[in-house]
Structure 1
Amino acid sequence: MSGWEEAYWEPSFGAPARSARQSGHYQRYVPDFVDGMMLAVNGDLSRKVAQAERALRALNDPGAGGLDGIARFLLRSEAIASSKIEGIAPSAQQVALAELGQMESVRGVSDQARLVANNMTVVRRSTTELVEAEELTVESIVDLHRSLLPDEPRHHGLRTVQNWIGGSDWNPIGAGYVPPAADRVPELMADLVAYLNGSAHSPLIQAAIVHAQFETVHPFTDGNGRVGRALIHTVLARRGLADRAVLPVSLVLATLKERYVAGLTSFRFDAPRGSEEASLAINAWLEVFVDAAMVAVAEARELMERVEDLIRDWATRQTEHRMSRGLRAIPRSDSASARLLMTLPEAPVVTATTLARILEVSFNAASAALDELHQAGILQVKSIDRGASAYIARDVLDLVNLAERRLASTRFDTRESPPARPVPARQQADQ
């Protein structure tokens, strides 16, 4: 049976003040195992889950088009949320230039942008490894955590000490939440991985339970939030529900922070396993998670539609430019300029060298394609190093910033409520 147990905190004599050297009793949570858990999902919620999963499958359908084009948008937003940046959200252009800087020399890129770009690479690589693995183990999760905190070895591995959320830095007395004792963590993580490898529940419900149980166990001394977010995508991708992009569920949950915390609090029930009371508590959390998933699907669909509209607008501009030059109105579908038009949403900042590698064409063909779209007013040129320039699709970067601001609004519309967490400024100028 899950519930709260009383523990006693011995004072830390290295604390800076007498108040921090406090000792006393506190309550920590002992969760039930989730593998093989009995769960009754209420009728209204089950229908909402089915609706959300149908919408997500439709979004993920290769025939739908567009999701591949916004995959990097969503990954970038997730990377910002998973980066330890205090109150700073680098602009889309800065991050795109930092990504370019991983392959070519680029001046003037901020450290924050480099951090996000590097985190994008890590999140993409790590979650791909988890998704493709035949079977996950506890060590798989430990490896994911290590990759997300590469420069913090003191936090690597399952915790061997008590941790807590909120309250004092020196003791858990009065903390907002205290996870289970460290000696319970290995078996709780083994149970969580066993559940993750199965399919007892629908993909969306499984993702919700994996995330809530992971955050409840809080198995690491730092970086739990980053791993918990990655596990949402891991479940949805392994179950074939969202394997082409990171659905921004965790970003919606971060925006709706009060509901999110209330949902997790409900999940930490004090009742016999399989009881009606336990099911009601879990249902309350599932309601929060599924609502967030439905918002995430709606926002991803809107972004897809905006990208598709943008590509149509570009095609019109390209046609008008070509006709003004006496060229055939529409380039061949296999030409570098036609393929570049479809590549820009995924790679909005490129050089001729990078484009030649992406499209597998000659440097001259890549240069000609970039120049054509520049002349058509689709791309702008920016100096990135002595004698080197990059081509930038600012329309795409504007969409990225708009999407991030919408996802950070508690109404998911900045006209109705401003962003509730750090995002790039509107119409931010890049130097």
Structure 2
Amino acid sequence: MERSGIYKTNLSGEMSYKSFLPSPLPPVPPIDLDGETVNLLIEAHKQLAVLESIASRIPNVALFVSMYIRKEALLSSQIEGTQATLDDILDPLLEENANRDVADVVNYIKATEFALERRKELPLCCRLIREIHAVLMEGVRGQEKSPGEFRISQNWIGGQGSTLKNARYIPPAPEDMVTAMSDLEKYINEDDGLDLLIRAGLIHYQFETIHPFLDGNGRVGRLLITLFLMEKGLLTTPALYISYFLKQNRIEYYDRMTEVRSKGNYEQWVRFFLQAIFESARDAVETIDRLTALHDKNTAVVETLGRSAKTAGRVFTYLESNPIIDIKKTASFLGLSYNAVAGTVDKLVQCGILVQTSNAAKNRTFAYDEYLQILRKDT
């Protein structure tokens, strides 16, 4: 067996094709930790520790996490070519306005929230992975591709219209895939003495290489990174959005996984992955710092609003989890009268906290623009 796997011939004659059969993890011979890799590993751990300490300090961490989940869902879906923006995802009239692209992202958010709850009952296993996939694919394009089930047919990766004959990559045949996923499940749940960040990178690579579903592999595979790091206690909240780095370096991301399959060179993939963790954690820390400073600044402004301060405080809190609002929905959610919310919104516009974004007399929408600008970075 080659270090990363072998190409195996399936079928015969005209129909024959070669699929990749990955070697089980961990790699043999073991990962060579040179100086550069060790330095990256130390920096990535340091940055994750900073992120963890900040996430444990901020009072409204649940709110940041809900925004982060939305942002990660958007970026991860954009890697797959989904055309949607952050403003689409935060549209207060999302239910009425959702198109196919937005529906993909909304499902990713649902799949993440489902996974975070379900992992309290199940370890990180094939069953959980299939259940996450079922939520991800429910009612969207790709729903005809067996949601929640591992594939029973051959898939391949290539440009539009590519076939088995000219595919860029052909994952393991179905029966080999079942064995490979079973091996991966064992690897996830046993300890091989390798650093957890390196293991997370190997697990992501292996999952993408096995490609067990007919659609949605990339999104499930990126979610696995967060779930593994939480399972092992390196992250307590999913405040790391690694798709930010992977989207920026999308070609290199795919090329480096190909390099492992073609040359058995896991080391260059591990370095790339550690760089992704380091930069993503650093970016998350900067974002939390900026959002916290903005929160403190505007809380002080709201407190100067005299008699309106109490209602304004409630609307402001709502804004931090719903940065684009319409008055009717906000009033209904907060249990306030339409006029009370409309008056408060006017005051927040005068203070510069809110900006009116649409003029339709009936459905005026308002955005917490400074907040959105921080979140929109890289989307």
The bucket for the TM-score relative to the shorter chain is 0.7 to 0.9
Per-residue deviation, 1:77: 3.1
Which residues of 2 match residues 17-56 of structure 1 at below 5 A? 23=14, 26-34=17-25, 38-56=30-48
Partner of 2:336: 363
> Is 1:132–1:238's contact at 8 Å kept on the other side of the alignment?
no
> Is 1:203–1:236's contact at 8 Å kept on the other side of the alignment?
yes
> Is 2:184–2:203's contact at 8 Å kept on the other side of the alignment?
yes
TM-score w.r.t. the length of structure 1 is 0.72
Change (3 A) 1:398 1:362: same
Change (3 A) 1:130 1:54: farther
More helix by share: 2
Deviations 1:215-252 (A, max 9, x none): 11111122211211111121122223334235221331
Which AA in structure 1 matches 2:120? E
1:188 aligns with 2:162: no
Change (3 A) 1:40 1:87: closer
Per-residue deviation, 1:369: 5.3
Partner of 1:127: 115
* 3-state SS of 1:173 partner: coil
* 3-state SS of 1:71 partner: helix
Quick one: which of 146, 163, 171 aligns to 1:179? 171
Partner of 1:314: 298
1:219 aligns with 2:219: no
Partner of 2:378: 404
1:145 aligns with 2:145: no
Partner of 1:7: 9
* 3-state SS of 1:404 partner: coil
Structure 2 alignment gaps of length 5 or more: none
Q: Following the alignment from structure 2 to structure 1, what is the Cα–Cα distance between the partners of residues 38 and 119?
A: 26
Partner of 2:74: 80
Change (3 A) 1:49 1:118: same
Partner of 2:234: 241
Per-residue deviation, 1:261: 2.2
Change (3 A) 1:135 1:8: closer
Q: Following the alignment from structure 1 to structure 2, what is the Cα–Cα distance between the partners of residues 118 and 184?
A: 33
Quick one: which of 372, 380, 386 aligns to 2:355? 380
Which AA in structure 1 matches 2:352? G
Quick one: which of 323, 335, 338 aligns to 1:348? 323
- Rg: which structure is higher? 1
Partner of 2:158: 166
Deviations 1:117-165 (A, max 9, x none): 6225423323214532342331221121222112313333212222221
TM-score w.r.t. the length of structure 2 is 0.81
Partner of 2:90: 96
* 3-state SS of 1:118 partner: helix
* 3-state SS of 1:4 partner: strand
Change (3 A) 1:28 1:362: closer
> Is 1:35–1:191's contact at 8 Å kept on the other side of the alignment?
no
Structure 1 alignment gaps of length 5 or more: 12-22, 271-277, 406-431
Per-residue deviation, 1:113: 6.5
Which residues of 2 match residues 99-114 of structure 1 at below 5 A? 101-102=94-95, 109-112=97-100, 114=102
1:232 aligns with 2:205: no
Change (3 A) 1:142 1:150: same
Change (3 A) 1:191 1:130: farther
Q: Following the alignment from structure 2 to structure 1, what is the Cα–Cα distance between the partners of residues 80 and 36?
A: 40
Per-residue deviation, 1:27: 3.6
> Is 1:4–1:27's contact at 8 Å kept on the other side of the alignment?
no
Q: Which moved more, 1:25-34 or 1:136-145?
A: 25-34
1:297 aligns with 2:281: yes
Which AA in structure 2 matches 1:238? E
Q: Following the alignment from structure 2 to structure 1, what is the Cα–Cα distance between the partners of residues 7 and 82?
A: 39
Q: Following the alignment from structure 1 to structure 2, what is the Cα–Cα distance between the partners of residues 86 and 59?
A: 27
Quick one: which of 261, 268, 273 aligns to 2:261? 268
Runs of 4+ in 1 over 6 A off after TM superposition: 383-386
> Is 2:71–2:86's contact at 8 Å kept on the other side of the alignment?
no
Partner of 2:197: 204
Per-residue deviation, 1:213: 0.3
Per-residue deviation, 1:391: 4.1
> Is 2:239–2:284's contact at 8 Å kept on the other side of the alignment?
no
Q: Following the alignment from structure 1 to structure 2, what is the Cα–Cα distance between the partners of residues 286 and 199?
A: 18
* 3-state SS of 1:363 partner: coil
Change (3 A) 1:86 1:191: closer
Partner of 1:423: none
Per-residue deviation, 1:256: 0.9
Q: Following the alignment from structure 2 to structure 1, what is the Cα–Cα distance between the partners of residues 331 and 197?
A: 40
Deviations 1:301-360 (A, max 9, x none): 2222322332244245446x63xxxx39x96xxx453465455333212456765787xx
Which AA in structure 1 matches 2:227? T
Deviations 1:17-56 (A, max 9, x none): xxxxxx3654432211126975453343234223212211
Per-residue deviation, 1:92: 2.9
Q: Once superposed, what is the RMSD of the aligned Cα atoms?
A: 3.6
